[in-house]
Chain A
Amino acid sequence: MGSIYGQKYTELEDTMRSIVDEIGSIREIALSRSGFDPIEHISYRIKTEESMLDKIKRKGLPLTTESALEAIHDAVGIRVVCAFINDIYAVRDHLLSLKNCEVIEEKDYIRHAKENGYRSYHMIVKVNGSIYVEIQLRTISQDTWAALEHHIHYKKDKTDMDKLISAELKRCADELASTDLSMQTIRDMIEKNRNEQEQAG
């Protein structure tokens, strides 16, 4: 049996590589400009055959390459973990400025956290008019919360105990978000001081 991705697998890999390289160049530009590396780490993957097939079935789509590449938009997934909140928006702005990337969808779960406390910036772009790429941008804290929440994998919401646990997970998310903002405020203050000193000196 052939791949659900048909003959497109190499193109998926090349597209993923080109976006990852593009993000790498954002790092270099930022480093040379301000001395800060806005990105902590990047991870990326092409969805495995197995989970793509699962997803197609779950959505009741025909088992075709078209379903995998046109109806579903996360065959290629890239996650960029940033140091500070503002870095997320800087990376986003850079991606928006790319000529070969067309933005299909943007969801700002940082400004509007999900009910459970999840925070992240999601965007789907179409590269070179053909391949969809899902990009998730988040801070270290947001990544930590998502990873730990995934480990707990708490989905029930029926008993009082379930409600308490859900509320506590959300509280942790809100506390981490608060810390993220405080760290941003501190960095801004340091930068402001440095600029003032440079101007004075």
Chain B
Amino acid sequence: MKILLAEDTKDMNRVITAALENMGYDVCSCFDGGEALEHALADSFDALVLDIMMPKKDGIEVLKEIRSRNIVTPVLLLTAKTEIEDRVIGLDAGADDYLSKPFAMKELLARVRAMTRRKQEYNTGIIDFGDLSLNGETFELKCENSIRLSVKEFELLQALILNSSRPLSARFILDNIWDNADDATESVVELYIQYLRDKLAAIASLVSIMEADDGYRLVKGNRS
């Protein structure tokens, strides 16, 4: 994983870089906001750690500029200031988290881990369940035969696989997969469950979607 660090205090920069590298990250260290912005636009990172007070461009300016270009990489702001107002401005400008100086290195590392975890879990590569293999990059669903799922079908099946130990209610599915959109109703969920059932059958999978009063649950089935 690659981290961009922008911190103008040389000692501080060196210490943070060493700590991150020690945790196995590739670190691109910058000493001012201009340099940081250049790297953030030219390269891609898994997280950015930006000091607020820096020469050339401050951390907030860098943050605003990359967000205006729809770069959604997680950002952790470091600030010497403890005023609430600065934190609010930073978070509103698109930061995911902040840390006030002085801080414990242990905490900085934990926050970087927390920020990068979400993305890591989202791009889960290939998930297996029973006789199924679901590819998170291509949305290909494979058993005896293969098929491509639509985005919503993929998200629904992924949720069912990752939550196979408990039933998912239509409400939970609407809240989490349809982000509770106005036009999404329980009949949308029913239709998508039916899409998945027919597609599971088409690839000759034994996996099936059980429906009970408390929701939908994926079961593996047995080869008889």
Q: Which residues of A contact B (CB under 8 A)?
A: 85, 111-113, 170-171, 174-175, 177-178, 181-182, 184-186, 188-189
Contact = CB atoms under 8 A, between A and B. Distances in A.
Contact of A181 (B140, B146, B191, B202): B202
List the 6 shortest-distance A-B pairs measured between CB atoms, nearest first.
A174-B148, A175-B148, A185-B198, A178-B147, A181-B198, A178-B148
Contacts of A170: 146
Contact of B195 (A174, A175, A181): A181
A12 B150 CA distance: 46
A189 B194 contact: yes
A24 B36 CA distance: 71
A186 B138 CA distance: 24
Given A174-B148, A181-B195, 9 more contacts: A113-B146, A171-B148, A174-B147, A175-B148, A177-B148, A181-B198, A181-B202, A182-B150, A189-B191
Chain A contact residues: over half helix, strand or loop, or mixed? Answer: helix
Interface residues on B, range: 10 to 19
Nearest to A175: B148
Chain B contact residues: over half helix, strand or loop, or mixed? Answer: mixed
Given A185-B195, A189-B191, A178 B204 contact: no
Contacts of A113: 145-146
Contacts of B147: 174, 177-178, 181
A170 B145 CA distance: 12
Contact of B202 (A177, A188, A189): A177
A92 B199 CA distance: 21
A185 B191 contact: yes
26 contacts: A85-B202, A111-B144, A111-B202, A111-B204, A112-B144, A112-B145, A113-B145, A113-B146, A174-B140, A174-B148, A177-B147, A177-B148, A177-B202, A178-B149, A181-B147, A181-B198, A181-B199, A182-B150, A182-B195, A182-B198, A185-B191, A185-B195, A186-B191, A188-B194, A189-B191, A189-B194
A185 B140 CA distance: 19
A85 B204 CA distance: 15
B138 to A, nearest CB: 7
Q: Taking each of B144, B148, B149, B204, which has the highest tally of chain A beta carbons within 10 Å of its own beta carbon?
A: B148
A174 B204 contact: no
A102 B9 CA distance: 86
Interface in B184-224: 191, 194-195, 198-199, 202, 204
B174 to A, nearest CB: 19
Interface in B122-159: 138, 140, 144-150
A185 B199 CA distance: 9
B144 A171 contact: no
Contacts of B191: 185-186, 189
B198 A111 contact: no
